[in-house]
Amino acid sequence: MLRSDQYILSIDLGTSGCKVGLVSITGDVVAWAFRPVPLLVVDTIGAEQDPFKWWKAFIEAARDVLSQNAVPRQNIVAICSSTQGEGTIAVDCDGNVLMNAVIWLDMRGARYLKKEMRGALKVAGYDAIKLQKWLRLCGGAPALSGKDPAGHMLLIRDAFPEIYEKTYKFLNVLDFFNLRLTGRFCATQDSILTSWVTDNRNVDHIRYDDGLIAASGIDKAKFPDLVRCTDVVGTLLPSVADLLDLSPKTPVVAGAIDNSAAAIGAGTIADYDTHLYMGSSSWISAHVPFKKTNVMDQITSVPCPVPSKYLMIAMQSSGASNIAFLKDRIVFHDDGLIDSEPTPDTYRILDEIAARTPAGADGMMYLPWLFGERCPVDDPTLRAGLFNMSIEHNRETLVRAVFEGVALNTRWMMKPVTRFLGRRPEEITMIGGGAMSHSWCQIFADVLGVRIRQPRDPVKANARGAAFIGAAGLGLINIEEAARHVVIDRVYEPGATAHRLYDERFGLFTELHRRLAPLYKRLNGSKGKVHG
């Protein structure tokens, strides 16, 4: 019988900042805090964050949570993390950070990755021999946009050789947090994935492959030891325990990157049960019983914390970041000219504006490619834009168009997802900060033509998933049990009239991409020498 008095201190580090929750092993969140972390854009195509600011945000948020005294400290049985994935941190043998973290938006590594792709025969931009091996063993291949650790490490090797020389290990974001918590250098079966150096054919026995490491161009010694997501990687370092006023005997469970943790926190654990994450980035994901890759559509199924299963992931570059852009750069931009300050209710206000503005945004359309795109096209030259704006439009129209544009972009991804799964999802659980918007959930239902399930506290899904992984690591639950502890608060049914309207708009959306893509390449192609 489950004990309701056991809690996990759950870390959810996203691109916007660090959330910390105190979560019961049955998924109840009893305390919560958030601290923002800035994003640093480098040379228009690079994206970095300061790992020290990650850590500072975590310590502050964790101390805030613990100061709420929601439960006795002795009831906190473990710490477990969910973090943004596809980031790269170079550290020395003492664990010191050697430069800013290169994160999942960064495209500077593409030019160096292209050098590694030289060969007599190319397929879809890849060296044919290397591609065949990556697909057979890994189930995927390095992103030609340079947005994953495979490209990041080559960037550091070739553009920052002095950093590369000093690097003891390359760590993903999750691995960095586990190092700071326990002092151990390790990577999980999902955090290592997009380094593309592991044999993933036996999902319950992921291991490094010497041939893949050689193909990566990175020294073998710079990769950390592998662990499972549910492994206890150590106990809390005394210095961290003192900061948090927790026992140094507190176990730290390895945890998972955001895609994996979200699928569990959403309760979508059964095969083909699908979730849509709407945070800074967005993705559609579902657990499946097979390893499979579609290179042309940029969709694959990868190792995950659930035993004997793979996780299908189709990822897009910009999700709710479009709403954040609208808020921070347009509606409440601090330019010193207009006295315009956001309030704590800013997102609620934008939600209400979107809800009261008629579907179709009076003909205005928005293309949400703020930082290029990944699926169903891997094209770093795409950019966001407004189409068909007239003098009759206003701020309300713009807000509605942005909400709809992100949803239409997600629909663009649904056809290859349906083909990959071999079935069309009839309902999708929506999580992440974007899922707190009732109007957006309804827009997604109307645009996709499926039921949208909104769980309780959708923004806390990743932290809840980390708690379930932590509890499983201690043997307190089976991960498969997590689904029954996730409460669905509301279901949004697609409206027939709105869906017909969005059918027509979707045709225009894809035609805009087809016609504008060559122009984006001309406008941004000079950077192609850098990011391909």
Per-residue pLDDT tens for 49-59? 999 999 999 99
pTM: 0.90
pLDDT in tens, 92-119: 999 999 999 999 989 999 999 988 887 7
Residue-level pLDDT at 531:
35
Phi and psi at residue 43, to the nearest 5°: 55, 35
Cα–Cα distances (Å) from 522 to 145, 210, 316, 381, 516, in that order, read 17, 40, 22, 9, 10
Examine residue 506 and state whether it is found in any structural domain, yes or no. Answer: yes
pLDDT over 90 at 340, yes or no: no
Residues 6+ apart with CB under 8 A from 147: 86, 104, 105, 106, 107, 109, 317, 374, 380
SS3 462: helix
Examine residue 141 and state whether it is found in any structural domain, yes or no. Answer: no
- Location of structure tokens 């954040």: 324
Examine residue 380 and state whether it is found in any structural domain, yes or no. Answer: yes
How many structural domains does the chain have? 1
Examine residue 375 and state whether it is found in any structural domain, yes or no. Answer: yes
Residue-level pLDDT at 335:
54
Give the range of the structural domain holding residue 405, as residue numbers without chain letter: 321-412+496-531
Examine residue 77 and state whether it is found in any structural domain, yes or no. Answer: no
Examine residue 523 and state whether it is found in any structural domain, yes or no. Answer: yes
Examine residue 241 and state whether it is found in any structural domain, yes or no. Answer: no
Examine residue 326 and state whether it is found in any structural domain, yes or no. Answer: yes
Phi and psi at residue 295, to the nearest 5°: -65, -45
Band (343; pLDDT cuts 50, 70, 90): low
Phi and psi at residue 211, to the nearest 5°: -65, -40
Residues 6+ apart with CB under 8 A from 376: 297, 298, 299, 314, 412, 413, 415, 416
In angstroms, the CA 225 to CA 442 distance is 44
* Share of residues in the chain with pLDDT > 90 (%): 76
- Location of structure tokens 């020290």: 52
In angstroms, the CA 130 to CA 295 distance is 13
pLDDT over 70 at 338, yes or no: no
